[in-house]
Structure 1
Amino acid sequence: MNSSQEAVNQLNALMDQVDEHLKDTFQILHQGYPTETLVRFLKAREWNVSKAHKMLVDCLNWRLQNDIDNILSKPIIPIDLYRAVRDSQLVGLSGFSKEGVPVFGIGVGLSTLDRASVNYYVQSHIQINEYRDRVVLPAASELHGRYIGTCLKVLDMTGLKLSALGQIKLLTIISTVDDLNYPEKTDVYYIVNAPYIFSACWRVVRPLLQERTRKKVQVLHGSGRDELLKIMDYASLPHFCKKEGPAGSSQHLPPDINDCFSLDHPFHQEVYNYVKQQAQSQALKVPVKLGSFHVDVPEPDPEGTMIVQTIKSELHKIGDQNGDTHECCLTNDTG
């Protein structure tokens, strides 16, 4: 028996001993794939069984304490508020890779995260995570007749400004939620349309990342269109990659009807309708309390804190060099 299988067996034995209420939420977490889920947590803790066990139990307690199992029955209402969240927290499912893996586009540079309270952005982010894990991935697994438990993310840096400094706290909260409760769910992060400001930060942050994380990040040339077409069909490309020419030219294109960030995109309509239906069925059982959904966010680990401080420092340096620490938007670099 190899060491990784032994680690899985040990972690499985430890999970057999947890309370029943933790086992119940673990079932919702693993969606019928307990072994693959144990492997994710082991990978996240470098195959250290005791650390992976603590991480998983902490995750299950977080789910219970914050009622994450029911978050897909907690709509963000009214619809105008949800549209405001979608317009300022740019994320969406654009399609699937040739291997059947979901492809998510994320508009890092143009997300303003300033149209709602932090609680709504965190709630929205977790709902998309849970919809991905409970609906999208199981459907993909069934379609392809094999387990598909991860996604690809294409991060659009178009429009990245030094004002992103003000978003770092919220982005750190969301990143911490993902690191601790949704580990190893992303195979590769493709960076596209990267301006100089990103390149400058990446140079100093890259050495601070764990090797496992560093290997997952690929900075592509320009919009990344040609490289991404090797792993997905044109229809699955995020809208901001469907152009030729220099990076950043997508800013000057008319709105795309296939814009995966828009609330009107089929993916967001599916999520919205699913949550609404879940809320209605829940309401038949018990009165549903609506409103902002508060989620306790664990403290980020020291490594994450150090990376955030490094980014802040680097952004300030770039701002000082350009005579403006707030609104300097540097031109896109095609290199």
Structure 2
Amino acid sequence: MFRVWRNSHNDPENGSMQQSETKINEFRAAIGPLSGRDLQFCTDACLRRYLEARNWNVDKSKKMMEETLKWRSKFKPEEIRWREVAIEGETGKLYRANFHDRHGRSVLILRPAMQNTTSLENQMRHLVYLIENAILNLPEGQEQMAWLIDFTGWTLSTSVPIKTARETVNILQNHYPERLAIAFLYSPPRIFEAFWKIVKYFLDTKTFHKVKFVYPNNKDSVELMKQYFDEENLPKEFGGKAILEYNHEDFSMLMAQDDVKTAAMWGSSDKPQHATTVHSGAEVAPERARLTSSAS
């Protein structure tokens, strides 16, 4: 018995886990009693992400969590349904891919040049909906997602306003800490540098280091991309072999199915929506293989 205790006591990994649990318990005590959806949201894994985002400082993590709980109470991300934001997705400017990366993470594909609306509020609801959906579709044991940003057709005239970019960063960093594993900006035009010089100041250090620029003619950046994605799954627009097609009607049906799962998870009622109740939109790049089937 003494030998077993001694080995466990001297095991760095075991010691680290004990320290983590101690910090989580301290954090939970600092937050105080929770109920309802706040209690459901604040799992140990969630608290750990907030602690990691604030370098395990309980006071700073508490402040961050309190701001998130206020935001969630007002924004109600768990209540957003696809039928409410479907118009934002008609062009496929942002959607969940039908593949995971090599680490099992959900993948969101962003195509900034496909922007089709002007309401910042609706755009943010669409973004939050898909972040929540990406989390919903994470395999057990995985907590993060990857972003693939396609700059095909991007110009300064089609770029999102700085206010939109700033709010996107704010939501991702402050209300979904440690959810982003990596973001690949694929082949951005040179003129994007002017836009990036402004946006990068909104990013904290951790998020900044998760953003990777990939250029087809740069061997190192292409190899980095291959470390995260199987070439057979990766769309050609990102240097892979798969054919990228966004079909809004198919994706809408998939999201309607996921809405039922979301409602069940959060304890609310929701009825499946027929395809005719969402904006059907037009197909984008009508090729054979589709990237809007279930992410399994």
In the superposition, the TM-score normalised over structure 2's length comes to: 0.70
Residue in structure 2 matched with residue 64 of structure 1 by the alignment: 73
2:231 paired with 1:222? no
1:282 paired residue number: 269
Residue in 1 that maps onto 2:254: 270
Unaligned runs of 5+ in 2: 1-14, 272-276, 278-296
Shift of 1:53: 1.0
Q: CA-to-partner distance for each residue in 1:99-151, whole Å, 9 max, x for gaps? A: 2122222113x13242x633322222121122222x201xx11xxxxx10001
d(CA) in 1 for partners of 2:69 and 2:202? 29
Aligned 8 A contact 2:78 2:262 in 1:
no
User: In structure 1, the residue corresponding to 2:50 is in which secondary structure?
Assistant: helix
Pairwise CA RMSD of aligned residues? 3.5
The code of the aligned residue for 1:229 comes to K
For each residue in 1:274-329, what CA deviation from the matched residue of structure 2 results, as whole angstroms up to 9, or x when unmatched?
Answer: 33787898367xxxxx9xxxxxxxxxxxxxxxxxxxxxxxxxxxxxxxxxxxxxxx
Alignment of 1:25-44 (within 5 A): 25-27=38-40, 29=41, 34-44=43-53
C-alpha spacing 1:276/1:172, structure 2 compared with 1 (3 Å): same
Task: Find the aligned partners of 2:158 and 2:198 in 1 and give their Cα distance.
Answer: 17
Partners of 1:67 and 1:18 lie apart in 2 by 20
Letter in 2 for 1:87: T
Q: How many residues align?
A: 251
Normalising by structure 1, report the TM-score.
Answer: 0.63
CA shift, 1:185, in A, is 0.5
Does 2:107 correspond to 1:106? Answer: no
Map of 1:131 onto structure 2 = 133
Alpha-carbon offset, residue 93 of structure 1: 1.9
* Aligned residue among 83, 94, 97 for 1:76: 83
In structure 1, what residue type is equivalent to 2:107? V
What one-letter code is carried by the residue in structure 1 that aligns with 2:259? V
Q: Distance in 2 between matches of 1:264 and 1:187?
A: 29
Q: 2:99–2:233: 8 Å Cα contact kept in structure 1?
A: yes
Partner of 1:46: 55
- Higher RCO structure, 1 or 2 (CA under 8 Å, sep 6+): 1
CA distance in 2, matches of 1:185, 1:58: 17
Task: Report sequence identity in percent.
Answer: 20
- Quote how far apart the aligned CAs of 1:182 are: 1.0
Structure 1 residues 19 and 206, CA gap change in structure 2 (3 angstroms): closer
